[in-house]
Amino acid sequence: MPEPSHAAHRASSARRRADLKAFGPFIALAALIVLGAVVNPVFLTPGNLINVLTRTAFTGIIAIGGTFIITTGGIDLSVGSLAAFASGIMIIVMNALTPQGLPPFLVVLLGTLAVMALSVFSGLVNGLLITRGRIEPFIVTLGTMGIFRSLVTYAANGGTLSLNTQIRGYYRPVYYGDILGITYPILVFAVVAAIGAIVLYRTRFGRYVTATGANEEVARYSAIHVDRIKLAAYGLQGLCVGLAVFLYVPRLGSASATTGLGWELEAIAAVIIGGTLMKGGSARIWGTVAGAIILALIDNILNLTGAISVYLNSAIQGCIIIIAVLVQRDAKSRP
């Protein structure tokens, strides 16, 4: 019976292809690490790696929220601008509180609460415009992207908002501090990713997010409140932006019109490279983590070699995104 064995072979090769698709981002990440090590021995030093990963944390955390949004079938372009706006507001709030003679811990706590409230609120506004207003997510967040960016420019009067140096000294360790050599931003990123994975894969909410993106009508006919799920996803994205801002502000202690520029695209790119489907309904949280790190490593490796100009960074990242999607595309859907 030659036919069945032939068929069985084809089935197993189809399964292998599926596995390859799921592991693709991690294989690419491993390959990149090998490449980096070959190119420059400095690459593999703990100092360099910690440094790169710490800087990845902001867009990485935002991309975890973005994975939820994209899985519902939506998109959020406003996250970079929101990060800038929220950074500005945080600095303004903390600068205003400092002369009141409050202890620095309380100042930072109140500033953080303000940032979290503002970010979640902004996410919910996006969500409400999309669900209640029945406007495409792309259009809503394109609008709010412009609004937030403009508001931070206005608040900074076209210049830079700087954090009071006294508070900055106190707040600094949130970005630069570490436990056993691992900086806080990396730890927070890891925790956020783990929580994201548990929520998405193990909870009812996560299942509903996936179902909503896979087929909204089926979700509705399964008694799922699709609008509430989407709204919650945008709120969650806001929360992630808030966390990223909390970690980002102590880094430079300032916010300006160029803060968080392009973060939305970097976050979306990380999600897509990670294997989450752009059309929704299929999420890969750990893929997103790998995607975010891949983007950061490319930048780092280019900086460490002299062979290719750093100015070509975006071109190479663009190629990676396109290749990632080509590799992951369902073989059957090819014409």
Our finding on whether 11 is near another protein (CB under 8 A) is yes
Q: How far is the CB of 196 from another protein (least distance, A)?
A: 15
Nearest Cα to Cα of residue 268 among 78, 37, 10, 26: 78
Our finding on whether 8 is near another protein (CB under 8 A) is yes
Q: How far is CA 202 from CA 29, 82, 139, 266, in A?
A: 26, 29, 31, 27
* Residue among 66 and 213 whose Cβ is closer to another protein: 213
Q: Which of 223, 307, 326, 331 binds another protein (CB under 8 A)?
A: 223
CA 1 to chain CA mean position, Å: 52
Our finding on whether 37 is near another protein (CB under 8 A) is no
Q: How far is CA 289 from CA 73, 181, 192, 197, in A?
A: 20, 20, 10, 11
Q: Does residue 269 contact residue 60 with C-beta atoms inside 8 Å?
A: no
Q: How far is the CB of 223 from another protein (least distance, A)?
A: 5
For the CA atoms of 56, 63, 301, 249, the dihedral, rounded to the nearest 10 degrees, stands at -30
Our finding on whether 10 is near another protein (CB under 8 A) is yes
Total residues interacting with another protein, rule: CB under 8 A? 27
Angle between helices 79-97 and 226-252 (to 10 degrees): 60
Site string for another protein, 180-219 (x = CB under 8 A): ----------------------xxxx-xx-xx--xx-xxx
CA 196 to chain CA mean position, Å: 11
Q: How far is the CB of 215 from another protein (least distance, A)?
A: 5
Sign of CA dihedral 77, 289, 224, 279: positive
Q: How far is the CB of 310 from another protein (least distance, A)?
A: 41
Q: How far is the CB of 230 from another protein (least distance, A)?
A: 17
Q: Which range of residues in 9-17, 131-139, 230-238, 298-306 is near another protein by CB under 8 A?
A: 9-17
* Residue among 95 and 215 whose Cβ is closer to another protein: 215
Site for another protein in 243-282 (CB under 8 A): 281-282
**Residue 250: which residues within 8 A CB-CB, separation 6 or more?**
168, 171, 172, 173, 174, 175, 176
For another protein, the binding residues (CB under 8 A) are 3-4, 7-8, 10-11, 14, 202-205, 207-208, 210-211, 214-215, 217-224, 281-282
